[in-house]
A = this chain, B = another copy of it.
C-alpha cells in the first residue's frame, strides 16, 4: 500500500539538497550555525520527503534521549491523574516525552520498571513518594540518573523531592475534627506498609489526637484500598456498631467518598449525625453532594514544579545536591464536617 523502499534518513535529505549530512544535522539542532539560504533549502527538503529524525541514533551518540521516566503506582484512580497530567505538560513544554510506567503499589515491580526505563536511557526519572526498595535507590545512585520524588516532602529524603508534608496533612485533618469538638473518632486508611504518604498522614493524625488525649480504639480503625466500593463496605461495618464514632478521618478523598456513601446508605445525615474528612482534594470532591471537607494537597502545582525541577537537574548534571521543596497543605472546610450532636 505504500512504497516501503524509500527510507528517508538524514543522508538522503542531504543528497537531495546537495549538502553534507553534517549540515543537515546542524540545520536541525543548531540552526544558527548554518547559512539562512541553506537552511531554507534543507527545511524544504525535509518537508518534502517527510523526514523524521531518529532520536535513537541521537541518543546513541551520547546526546539526550529527550525522554523522562515517570513511575506511578497506578493511573487508574483520580489520585495521581492531576499530578501526572501537570508533570507531563511541564516536561513536554521543554521538548521531553514521558515514558510512563505503573507498578500497582508493588515495590519489586517498581524496581523492574525502573530498569526498563533506564534501558531506554531516560534523561531523568520521577517516582511517587519516598518508600522504595533498597535496590531501587541503589540503581538510581549507581546509574547517576537525575531522580526526583514527587508527592512527599521529608526533610531528610535521600533524593530530591517536591511534595507536601503528609504528616502535617494528617495533623491538620485531625485538628479540624478536634476543634469542632469531636472526641469519638474513627479512622480509615489504606495499608501503610510500603506507602510513606499514607503512613505519614496516619502518624500525623494519631499524634494530633494523642496530644489532646484522644485515643482511637482499634475497632474504629478501618483498612481500605483506594476504592470507593471497598471503603464503603468497610465504613458500613464500622458505622453499624452499637456505639459508632461521631467523626471519620479518611486517608484520602476516595476513601472519604466511600465513607459518605456508607453513612447515607445507613440513613445518617452528613454532617449532622457524622462528620467525615478526607485528604487530597481530588477533582470532584468540591462538587459532590454534600461537598467534601478535606485537606488540599496541591497536585497540579506539585506536578508542574516537579517537572521543572527535574529538567533543571538534567540541564546541570554537575550539581548533584539534593533539593527538597515543600508545598503547603490547606484545610478546605466544606459540608461534610460539623460539631458533634449533643447526646
B76, A283: Cβ atoms under 8 Å?
yes
A53 contacts the other chain (CB 8 A): yes
Chain B nearest CB: distance from A270 CB in Å? Answer: 10
B89, A102: Cβ atoms under 8 Å?
yes
A269 contacts the other chain (CB 8 A): no
Q: Which of B97, B116, B232, B265 contacts A120 (CB 8 A)?
A: B97
Best-surrounded residue of A50, A102, A260, A287 (most CB of chain B within 10 A): A287
B97, A117: Cβ atoms under 8 Å?
yes
A84 contacts the other chain (CB 8 A): yes
Chain B nearest CB: distance from A91 CB in Å? Answer: 11
A67, B228: Cβ atoms under 8 Å?
no
A19 contacts the other chain (CB 8 A): no
**A2-B144, A85-B75, A289-B264 given as contacts; is B119 within 8 A of A55 (CB)?**
yes
Q: Which of B53, B76, B98 contacts A101 (CB 8 A)?
A: B98
B121, A56: Cβ atoms under 8 Å?
yes
Q: A228: which B residues are within 8 A, CB to CB?
A: 283-284, 287
**A75-B81, A77-B81 given as contacts; is B287 within 8 A of A52 (CB)?**
no
Q: Which of A57-65, A189-197, A199-207 makes up part of the contact surface? A: A57-65
**A52-B143, A100-B88, A118-B52 given as contacts; is B283 within 8 A of A77 (CB)?**
yes
Considering only CB atoms and an 8 Å cut-off, how many residues of chain A contact the other chain? 64
- Measured between alpha carbons, how far is A59 from B261 in the docked complex, in Å? 51
- Measured between alpha carbons, how far is A77 from B80 in the docked complex, in Å? 10
- Measured between alpha carbons, how far is A1 from B60 in the docked complex, in Å? 25
Nearest to A61 among chain B residues (CB) is B56
Nearest to A53 among chain B residues (CB) is B119
**A4-B144, A144-B2 given as contacts; is B54 within 8 A of A119 (CB)?**
yes
- Measured between alpha carbons, how far is A113 from B4 in the docked complex, in Å? 23
A97, B89: Cβ atoms under 8 Å?
no
Q: A75: which B residues are within 8 A, CB to CB?
A: 75, 81, 84-85, 88
A320 contacts the other chain (CB 8 A): yes
B287, A54: Cβ atoms under 8 Å?
no
A98, B99: Cβ atoms under 8 Å?
yes
- Measured between alpha carbons, how far is A113 from B287 in the docked complex, in Å? 33
A92 contacts the other chain (CB 8 A): yes
Q: A55: which B residues are within 8 A, CB to CB?
A: 56, 119-121
Chain B nearest CB: distance from A150 CB in Å? Answer: 15
A141 contacts the other chain (CB 8 A): yes
**A101-B97, A284-B257 given as contacts; is B60 within 8 A of A57 (CB)?**
yes
A165 contacts the other chain (CB 8 A): no
A121, B89: Cβ atoms under 8 Å?
no
- Measured between alpha carbons, how far is A65 from B59 in the docked complex, in Å? 12
Q: A289: which B residues are within 8 A, CB to CB?
A: 260-261, 264-265, 289
A82 contacts the other chain (CB 8 A): yes
Chain B nearest CB: distance from A64 CB in Å? Answer: 11
Selected A-B contacts with CB under 8 Å, 14 pairs: A2-B144, A50-B139, A54-B121, A55-B121, A67-B99, A75-B84, A77-B81, A77-B283, A88-B101, A88-B102, A92-B102, A100-B100, A232-B287, A261-B287
3 tightest A-B contacts by CB? A56-B59, A76-B85, A228-B287
